[in-house]
Amino acid sequence: MTPFATYGKKYLYRGLWEKSAILFYLMIKNHPFENGNKRIALVTLVHFLYKNNYKLEMDPDQLYKLSKDIAGSNPKVKQEYLKLITKEIKINSQGR
């Protein structure tokens, strides 16, 4: 539910791209599953975008690198990664 969190009746993550980015980031970093967190995060991201009428058209190698970088990143640079993820999702998503 983090992508839909509010504070003072305002969304912390505004817009589809920011919600998508935090969803992808947290599914990788929080390790909700014993195995396959990066793969599940990717499928969840694609499904989330699909449900919102977008299709992710990102190079698989680029997406793999981004996922690996997130997994190995220091949590102190979370905001920088969220900006990067948001940018990449926005650039590589097409309305369907």
CATH number of the structural domain spanning residue 88: 1.20.120.1870
pLDDT of residue 85: 97
Does a structural domain hold residue 7?
A: no
Does a structural domain hold residue 51?
A: yes
Does a structural domain hold residue 1?
A: no
When divided into structural domains, the chain yields a total of: 1
Pairing outcome for strands 10-11 and 6-7: antiparallel
pLDDT of residue 96: 83
pLDDT of residue 19: 96
Does a structural domain hold residue 11?
A: no
R_g of the chain, CA atoms, integer Å = 13
Does a structural domain hold residue 37?
A: yes
Domain residue limits at 83? 16-95
Does a structural domain hold residue 30?
A: yes
Strand partners, 11: 6
Mean pLDDT, consecutive 10-residue stretches, the chain (96 aa), reads 91 94 96 93 96 95 94 96 96 93
